């Protein structure tokens, strides 16, 4: 493989690491092995609390990043019903609790169809969306109030994987298009259920044809590089 000329690879991004942090580690290891600085970029950000497929492009293949970002993505998400957080995930503590005793599997099934197809979705204010040149999350962390305009996103499929009626936890598989925030889906699903919801875990299992099973284990990037560079 010629990483200086251009390759496409994917790593399984670890929990609590930014996409840039993961990319920087791969670039460091790769540049050290090759003795030259490698041009590298990623095709689609993952939140620090999310894990899974992070597609990386090197060399001339970085020109394909925009195209790769349009590919369909698949996620497995777990959420806690009956409560919300500022960031719609576990990055922040619970800020409000809601009634949840009425939530049943039948109710969940009845509201899911409204989230299929082209839908209007307001991005989370704790996100990288830009507001007058500033990242929304930077403004929120400074204590500023942020209002974001809704965007049209596409969700092709939502499959219920597990529902714990006692704990009111839900696991779903989501197939969606570019720009869809699963955290925002959790927020909106909670509202549709007459309650609240926030993500407790998120794993990107596929980007286009690249599945998480095809990814390089992040802790073994150096060993993987040594192997492919000698083949």
Say if residue 137 is in the same domain as residue 93.
yes
Residues 200, 109 within the same domain: yes
221-230 and 19-34 are packed helices; what angle lies between their axes, rounded to 10 degrees?
40
Compute the CA torsion angle 209, 214, 217, 220 (nearest 10 deg): -120
| Residue 2 is assigned to a structural domain of this protein | no
Looking at the 3D structure of the chain, how many domains does it have?
2
Same domain assignment for residues 203 and 93: yes
Mean pLDDT for the chain overall: 94
| 129 band by pLDDT with thresholds 50, 70 and 90 | confident
Does residue 142 share a domain with residue 111?
yes
pLDDT interval class at 230 (50, 70, 90): confident
pLDDT value for 231: 74
Note the pLDDT tens digit of each residue in 185-229. 999 999 999 999 999 999 999 999 999 999 999 999 999 999 998
Distance CA 197, CA 192 (A): 10
Per-residue pLDDT at 92 exceeds 80: yes
Residue-range definition of the domain harbouring residue 159 = 73-207
Instruction: Find the radius of gyration of the CA atoms of the chain.
Output: 19
pLDDT band at 3 (very low <50, low <70, confident <90, very high): very high
Residue 39 has pLDDT above 80, yes or no: yes
* Catalytic positions: 47
Tell me what pLDDT residue 61 has: 97
């Amino acid at each position: 493989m010629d990483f200086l000329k251009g390759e496409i690879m994917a790593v399984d991004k670890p929990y609590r690491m930014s996409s840039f942090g993961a990319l920087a580690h791969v670039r460091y290891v790769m540049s050290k092995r090759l003795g030259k600085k490698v041009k590298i970029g990623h095709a689609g950000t993952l939140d620090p609390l999310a894990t899974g497929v992070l597609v990386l492009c090197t060399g001339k293949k970085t020109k394909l990043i925009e195209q790769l970002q349009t590919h369909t993505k698949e996620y497995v998400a777990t959420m806690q019903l009956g409560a919300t957080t500022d960031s719609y995930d576990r990055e922040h503590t619970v800020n409000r609790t809601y009634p949840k005793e009425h939530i049943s599997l039948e109710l969940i099934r009845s509201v899911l169809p409204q989230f299929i197809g082209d839908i209007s979705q307001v991005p989370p204010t704790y996100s990288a969306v830009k507001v007058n040149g500033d990242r929304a999350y930077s403004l929120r962390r400074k204590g500023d109030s942020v209002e974001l305009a809704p965007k049209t996103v596409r969700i092709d499929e939502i499959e219920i994987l597990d529902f714990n009626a006692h704990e009111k936890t839900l696991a779903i598989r989501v197939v969606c298009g570019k720009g869809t925030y699963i955290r925002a889906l959790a927020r909106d699903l909670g509202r549709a259920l007459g309650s609240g919801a926030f993500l407790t875990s998120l794993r990107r299992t596929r980007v286009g044809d690249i599945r998480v099973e095809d990814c390089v284990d992040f802790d073994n990037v150096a060993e993987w590089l040594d192997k492919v560079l000698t083949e």
